[in-house]
Amino acid sequence: MPTVNLTVDGNQVSVPKGTTVLEAAWKAGSFVPTLCHDPELSKPGACRLCVVEIKGARNMPASCVTEAAEGMVVETASPAVVEARKTILELMLDNHPQDCLTCHQAGDCKLQDYAYFYNVKPGAFGGETKNYDIEDDNLFIVRNMNKCILCGKCLRACEEKQGRAVIDFAYRGFKTKVATAMDKHLADSVCVSCGTCVAVCPTGALTEKAMLGKARKWEVEKVRTTCPFCGVGCNFDLNVHQGKVIGVTSNAASPANGRDMCVKGRFGTDYVHSPKRLTKPLIKKNGEFVESSWDEALDLVASKLGDIKKKYGSDSIAALSSARCTNEENYVMQKFMRAGIGTNNVDHCART
């Protein structure tokens, strides 16, 4: 593959032809902020926060949509670049809720991080502010369009990764917003609640409903695990606070699914601490289920299976397994049925 050589902040860097200036700058070790860029999505150049100076260019282009060229000389932190980024952040903050003290996304918000890095405070411009109602009627996702910075990552993720195109930009100018068809609530749209939009949102515009008010971002322990709902093997991070699972967030490093998850995997973990969950075996005595020890329950099952096999034969017994079990557990189950019971009546919920 042909390469191009350029200079970034005085450092020589060689990158494959077609590489953007942003990617070249990151390879050179330079810090370039961005709010709309995502390596898995198309490049709209929407936020303009990644502007750089290129020797010979008439203006400061967005580095995420500018292709690196042979001999290019790039400055990523010149006074003009820093001033431009500060102005962009000031414009965003002047139309952004100033509730960082109570915002669920605090501590994991790119806008907050960059405002801190560049020492930018709101109030530089003033003017009209947006005042949308908070959408919390969806079972899993809360939308606060007052905190949306119009980066477009959510709608690109919905269309390009999930193939749904449930949301898009609506209206014009200052009234531009991310909306569903006919600007209905997300709960009234064709959204399947996969939560990919939440995973890519850089601010608090989209949040997981179940985790709101449960813990601050820095108080949560991330525990990598495998989803138990089917056999695909998706990985995600359990969000654990004070010994309890309060929710799930996807992890881009997951080998099977990356940040993509279904509604069950992302939002279906409330059963873990459900008061209705069985934690001990139940056996029926005098017509009612009562708690028992594992030894008593297993002895009862073995006795019943033995009686049925003796009276009706091995093929009168069948076993249905689950994708929520591990491969090893499923193997043991079918081995038990074939070698122990003596039947091939084995099936699996994922077969259909």
Q: Mind giving me the DSSP string for 104-151?
A: TTTTS-HHHHHHHHTT--S-SS------PPPB--SSSEEE-GGG----
Please name which of 96, 80, 69, 88 lies closest in space to residue 13, comparing C-alpha atoms.
Answer: 69
Give the gyration radius of the chain's Cα atoms: 27
| Strands of the chain, DSSP E | 3-8, 11-16, 53-54, 73-75, 141-143, 167-170, 177-180, 206-208, 221-226, 235-241, 244-249, 282-285, 288-291, 319-321, 346-348
Residues in contact with 46: Cβ distance below 8 Å, sequence separation at least 6, in sequence order: 36, 150, 151, 152
Q: What is the pLDDT of residue 322?
A: 84
Rounded to whole angstroms, the Cα distance separating 131 from 27 reads: 40
Q: What is the pLDDT of residue 347?
A: 94
Q: What is the pTM for the complete model shown?
A: 0.86
Residues of the chain scoring pLDDT < 50: none
Instruction: Determine phi and psi for 227, rounding to 5 degrees.
Output: -65, 135
* Domains along the sequence of the chain with CATH: 3-77 (3.10.20.740), 217-277 (2.20.25.90), 283-351 (no CATH)
> In what helix (H) or strand (E) does residue 100 lie, and over which residues does it extend?
none
Please name which of 299, 298, 297, 310 lies closest in space to residue 341, comparing C-alpha atoms.
Answer: 310
Q: What is the pLDDT of residue 38?
A: 96
Q: What is the pLDDT of residue 141?
A: 97
Say if strands 177-180 and 167-170 run parallel, antiparallel, or are unpaired.
antiparallel
The strand pairing partners of 348, in sequence order, are 321
Q: What is the pLDDT of residue 352?
A: 55
